[in-house]
Amino acid sequence: MFKEVAIEPASVATSYRDFSYIIEKFGIPEGRLIAAFPSKWKRFVYQAAQRHLHGKAELSKLEVRLRALSEDTFYAQGRPGEGCSVDWLEAAIAENKRAPFDAIIASTKLDNPEVISASDLDGDHPCLKPNRQWDIEREANVMARCCAPLLSKGKHIKLVDPHFDLGHKRFLRPFLEFLKHVRIGARVDIYRGDSQDANFIAQRIQQAIHGVLPAGVVLRLFLLPEGPMHNRFVLTEVGGLYFLTGLDDKGQGEKVTDQVGLLDPEVRALQWERHSSDYPVASWS
């Protein structure tokens, strides 16, 4: 699943080249996100860069690139961040004991296997190995954790599965777990096949979501011709995932794991366009 990596601000503030080399390894399409530790991490980086690069032209280049880092580059889990302004690395090690990061990148070498020196990073380092495809349990909570960074950041979410049917608990369970990560004000679109009557499908959805749709969230239903539909996706404006089996959890005697992967930005954009319409057959809020 997505990796959350804590990066010491000082480790990416030594030069524009060092900053760029590390930062470009993070983002939704890479399957790695920078821990929002602390929440004002970008400010900490700039303050460190001012100390290291004061008077140098690359300071302004770093500042421009830093400001351009979008929200979807970060994993915001509400970590407290106490002590970061005094000793970031000490605070990160303490936080790692409370709720582990996938890795900690630091500006110095320590005799601690959980802390990686930025000077030791290269394309072959384990913490930078490709992380775009995963084999996961077809359990509702696992599926939702897999999608959580997308669901929590997306203002517009599209769930694509030709057989999507909230009248079946195997679809309802993951859907309810997905909703726990959806932000207030988001729009969630369901795209499924047209093998059943639209009113019948809409009625089943309405019965399933009664009393559970979060306030401010809009749910819409779209039907597409059953024939061309095959792939299953979770799409947002910030990224997308495919599920080879489906957006339902396992049933009795069914496959217990699924292959899930991140879509390249160009492929996500293509699927986003293919699953776009202004004419839902039903809508709820």
For residues 98 and 221, membership in a common domain is answered with no
Measured distance CA(158)–CA(191) in Å, rounded: 7
Residue ending a domain, among 128, 160, 191, is 128
Q: What is the pLDDT of residue 229?
A: 82
Residues 15 and 103 in one domain: yes
pLDDT at 205: 95
State the Cα–Cα distance between residues 167 and 171, nearest whole angstrom: 8
Looking at residue 172, its pLDDT comes to 96
Is 229 found in the same domain as 123? Answer: no
Token representation of residue 163 = 């057989």
Mean pLDDT per 10-residue interval, the chain, length 285 residues: 96 95 95 96 96 92 95 90 94 96 94 90 87 96 96 96 95 97 96 94 95 94 87 96 95 84 97 94 95
- Tell me, yes or no, whether 265 and 224 share the same domain: yes
The pLDDT of residue 76: 87
Bridge partners of 115? 104
The CATH number given to whatever domain includes residue 215 is 3.30.870.30
Do 274 and 140 reside in the same domain of the chain? yes
Token code pair at residue 87: 């000793």
Q: Domain ends where: 128, 161, 177?
A: 128
- Its sign, for the CA torsion 274, 278, 281, 285, is positive
Same domain, yes or no, for 223 and 157?
yes
The reported pLDDT for the residue numbered 118 is 94
Q: Which two tokens stand for residue 20?
A: 């760029």
Residue-number span of the structural domain to which 30 is assigned: 3-128
Domain boundary among 128, 151, 185: 128
How many structural domains does the chain have? 2
Same domain, 108 and 148: no
Query: What is the reported pLDDT for 173?
Result: 96
CA angle 263/66/154 to nearest 5° reads 35
Say if residue 102 is in the same domain as residue 174: no
pLDDT at residue 78, as a whole number? 87
pTM: 0.92
Q: What residue has token string 């979807």?
A: 72
CA distance 41 to 39: 6
162, two tokens: 């030709």
